[in-house]
Amino acid sequence: MLSTQEFLSSCRPCLGTSRKTHVFRRRSSDWICRRRSSSISGMAPPILSLALPSETGRVLSIQSHTVQGYVGNKSAVFPLQLLGYDVDPIHSVQFSNHTGYPTFKGQVLNGQQLCDLIEGLEANNLLYYTHLLTGYIGSVSFLNTILQVVEKLRSINPNLIYVCDPVMGDEGKLYVPSELVSVYREKVVPVASMLTPNQFEAEQLTGFRIGSEADGREACKILHAAGPAKVVITSINIDGNLFLIGSHQKEKGQSPEQFKIVIPKIPAYFTGTGDLMTALLLGWSNKYRDNLDIAAELAVSSLQVVAKGIEFLTSYFH
């Protein structure tokens, strides 16, 4: 049986990645949250924590987790690993199943508990990340702590790429507290590198109704003006047609490069597809940094393969 390292190494030639080892040292800076006096000092970090694939990176993924089913980190971590990334997941919630079921049980991580985890990583020189990925956040206090995490990670690596999926709702309905909308709009969007809302979430963030492809392109421009260089509205449904609008503003003040991808509809119900889509956009856009359109095409095609596979298996076994 192959070890994890052997398995990932065997994947890299197929994915066009190479392996070089770089050692990074943490910049000294004070963590915003309260420091603990108890820390392990004088111990060298594990070698694997310092090994950074030259064409990929290390991702801190803060999202939901379910024991059964594939949403949040369960949809994002493995695909990113297959693309060659080192992924460290923090579960914003841990539930028995997703909340679409009649009932669910579990735990919700609070802001101080998130601080504790970040402090533990920092105490052992393990807080160097190239990417931060966030998904479902259930409270304003936790979202405000995420902002502290962004600031902390960028104090260590100023080139940190923050990919934010502003999970707030869909099909005209919010499924998070309404107070989160203004926090996302006023505080989170300005610090994000890439934003991946769906149609409803883009409307909430811009205050602009999206009723056409042109509206989608205009919404992307509004979001660029607020901060992120890359915006992908992952699903726009108009008159029964499903498509994606992507936009990359390579320099502030310049007109963004925009594109549209038509998405074939699959007659089935899925959960976690948005989480998977954002993870794939992170993975491929880092490999095609100046070609968001290519990255989005690869992400959409990968998602379609997964969805069609699930549809086939579901129909086969029923």
Residue 171, SS3 per DSSP: coil
- Which stretches does DSSP call E strand in the chain? 58-66, 86-95, 106-108, 131-134, 161-164, 169-170, 173-174, 194-195, 230-238, 241-248, 257-262
Give the pair of three-digit tokens for residue 314: 């579901």
Residues composing the chain = 318
Among all chains, which residue has been given the structure tokens 């509206």? 215
Catalytically annotated residue among 86, 165, 215, 275: 275
Closest of 255, 228, 234 to residue 246, by C-alpha: 234
Residue 6 has phi, psi (to 5 degrees) of -65, -40
Residue 95 region by backbone torsions, left for phi larger than 0, else alpha for psi between -120 and 50, else beta: beta
88 in active site: no
Pick from 263, 243, 267, 268: which is nearest to 303 by CA? 263
Rg (CA), the chain: 19
**DSSP assignments along 106-156, one per residue:** EEE--HHHHHHHHHHHHHTT----SEEEE-----HHHHHHHHHHHHHHHHH
Cα–Cα distance list, 157 to 32, 126, 130, 153, 234 (Å): 16, 12, 7, 6, 28
Residues 269-294 as b/e (b if ≥16 CB within 10 A, e otherwise) read eebbbbbbbbbbbbbbbbbeeeebbe
Residues with active-site annotation? 275
